[in-house]
């Protein structure tokens, strides 16, 4: 298994079938194009693991401005790999890159079980990201004090739209 850092936009083409958009409403193609633009930056760190002609995993991380941390954006491993040693090697390289860039922390968001990352590498929960789907029911809002106090709400909302 070969693991190496890639900085060519063409490298993203091999990863695109396994990339996940951060925002559910954005198509993967949007993320692919942004990653192709950003990959050439020394603030981006993209590792790929290859077994012969087959991509078996990748890791995408970034440094944002003067933030004191590295943020992991994407990680994918071929589920048929027999163990996690490839990911372990990638994580060590990520730590070295963070150290060279004088960052003392690696952060990530996951939709998977965070306990696994806590057990395996000692990640600590730092915050909770919450989501709320906006669905305005104006009839229900009309009975609340906020709306009832402003009779011109309908006209204001229609003007803003």
Q: Is residue 120 part of a domain?
A: yes
This prediction's pTM: 0.71
Q: Is residue 37 part of a domain?
A: yes
Q: Is residue 32 part of a domain?
A: yes
Quick one: which of 26, 27, 91, 23 has its CA closest to 57?
Answer: 91
Q: Is residue 151 part of a domain?
A: no
Q: Is residue 111 part of a domain?
A: yes
Q: Is residue 96 part of a domain?
A: yes
Strand partners, 72: 61, 108
pLDDT tens for each residue of 119-132: 656 666 666 554 55
Range of the domain at 31: 2-126
* Secondary structure in 3-state letters for 18-35: HCCCCCCCCCHHHHHHHH
- As a whole number of angstroms, the distance between CA 2 and CA 125 comes to 32
| Buried residues in 121-134 as b, exposed as e (16+ CB within 10 A) | eebeeeeeeeeeee
Q: How many domains does the chain divide into?
A: 1
Domain at 65, CATH number: 3.40.630.30
pLDDT tens for each residue of 88-110: 899 889 989 999 999 988 888 76
Q: Is residue 144 part of a domain?
A: no
Q: Is residue 35 part of a domain?
A: yes
* Secondary structure in 3-state letters for 51-75: ECCEEEEEEEEECCCCCCCEEEEEE
């Amino acid at each position: 298994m070969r693991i190496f850092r890639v900085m060519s936009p063409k490298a993203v083409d091999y990863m695109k079938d396994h990339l996940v958009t951060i925002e559910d409403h954005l198509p993967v193609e949007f993320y692919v194009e942004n990653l192709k633009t950003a990959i050439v930056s020394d603030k981006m760190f993209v590792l790929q693991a290859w077994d012969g002609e087959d991509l078996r995993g990748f890791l995408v991380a970034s440094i944002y401005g003067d933030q004191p941390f590295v943020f992991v954006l994407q990680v994918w491993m071929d589920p048929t790999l027999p163990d996690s040693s490839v990911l372990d090697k990638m994580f060590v390289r990520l730590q070295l890159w963070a150290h060279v860039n004088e960052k003392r922390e690696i952060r990530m968001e996951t939709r998977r079980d965070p306990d696994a990352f806590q057990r395996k590498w000692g990640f600590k929960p730092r915050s909770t990201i919450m989501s709320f789907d906006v669905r305005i029911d104006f009839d229900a809002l009309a009975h609340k004090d906020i709306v009832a106090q402003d009779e011109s709400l309908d006209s204001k909302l229609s003007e803003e739209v």
